[in-house]
Amino acid sequence: QSALTQPASVSGSPGQSITISCTGTSSDVGSYNLVSWYQQHPGKAPKLMIYEVSKRPSGVSNRFSGSKSGNTASLTISGLQAEDEADYYCCSYAGSSTLVVFGGGTKLTVL
């Protein structure tokens, strides 16, 4: 069982927007603005899409955005494209003892 809770799957049509939630606790997501999101296509390594809740690395489309409220972080993808179909994982800093926790992953299907 993963430390952070994500929906198993979400779906959307091309051009639409979707949001993936990531629920943690006051020991991780709720206490630090240190949530990151990763995109993983089948058979590939994860790719960093969002860090520190809402920052985008260079080269990542501005269709990807992140936010946080309380113990829940969210990833929003706007203007869905076929290439966005992938698994998405959230990750949070969890304090000096545990350090890193991941979510269980969400499979995004572009209909």
Q: Are 64 and 49 in contact (CB under 8 A)?
A: yes
Residue 75 beta carbon to another protein: minimum distance, rounded to whole angstroms: 13
Q: Give the tokens for residue 17.
A: 């927007």
- The residue among 59 and 82 lying less far from another protein, judged by its C-beta, is 59
DSSP character string of the chain: --SBB--SEEEE-TT--EEEEEE--TTTTTT-S-EEEEEE-TTS--EEEEBTTTB--TTS-TTEEEEEETTEEEEEE-S--GGG-EEEEEEEE-HHHH-EEEB--EEEEE-
Nearer to another protein, 49 or 77 (CB): 49
Q: Please report how close the Cβ of residue 79 comes to another protein at its closest, in angstroms.
A: 24
Q: Which residue number, 17 or 52, has a Cβ lying nearer to another protein? A: 52
Work out whether 89 is an interface residue with another protein (CB under 8 A): yes
Q: Of these, 77, 101, 108, 110, which contacts another protein (CB under 8 A)?
A: 101
- Residues numbered 19 to 78 that lie near another protein (CB under 8 A) are 32, 34, 36, 38, 44-48, 51-52, 57
Where on the chain is the footprint of another protein (CB under 8 A)? 2, 32, 34, 36, 38, 44-48, 51-52, 57, 89, 91-93, 97-105
